[in-house]
Amino acid sequence: MITLLNYTLAFAAILLLVALGGCVSEHSGVINLGLEGIMVIGALGGALVMKFMPNAGGFGLFLCVMLASIVFGVIYSSLLAVACINLKADQTIVGTALNMLGTALATVIVKSMNLSSSGGANTSSVVKYENKQAFFSNLGSFELNWFMVVALVMLAVVFVLLYKTKFGLRLRACGEHPQAAASVGINVFKMRWAGVLLSGLLGGLGGITYITTGVSEWKFEEGVFGFGFLSLAVMIFGAWDPVKIGGAAILFGFFRALGRVYNGIDFLKSLNIPPALYSMLPYIVCLIVLAFTSKNSKAPKAEGIPYDKGMR
**What are the residues binding another protein (CB under 8 A)?**
33, 79, 83, 87-90, 92-94, 96-101, 103-105, 107-108, 111-112, 115, 122, 124, 221-223, 225-226, 229, 232-233, 236, 274, 276-277, 279-280, 283-284, 286-287, 290-292, 294-295, 297, 304-306
Shortest distance, CB of residue 137 to another protein, whole angstroms? 31
User: Among residues 42, 36, 22, 12, which one has the least CA distance to residue 228?
Assistant: 36
Q: How far is the CB of 67 from another protein (least distance, A)?
A: 24
| Residue number with CB closer to another protein (137 or 263) | 263
Minimum CB separation of residue 122 from another protein in Å reads: 6
Identity of the amino acid at 153: V
- CB-nearer residue toward another protein: 119 or 140: 119
Q: How far is the CB of 111 from another protein (least distance, A)?
A: 5
Q: How far is the CB of 25 from another protein (least distance, A)?
A: 15
Nearer to another protein, 159 or 225 (CB): 225
Distance CA(50)–CA(70), nearest Å, equals 14
Longest dimension (CA), the chain: 64
Residue (66 or 207) nearer to another protein, CB: 207
Nearer to another protein, 9 or 232 (CB): 232
**CB-nearer residue toward another protein: 147 or 252:** 252
Min. distance of Cβ 177 from another protein in angstroms?
Answer: 17
* CB closer to another protein out of 186 and 305: 305
Cα-based distances in Å from 210 to 92, 151, 206, 295: 24, 12, 6, 31
CB of 260 to another protein, least distance (A): 14
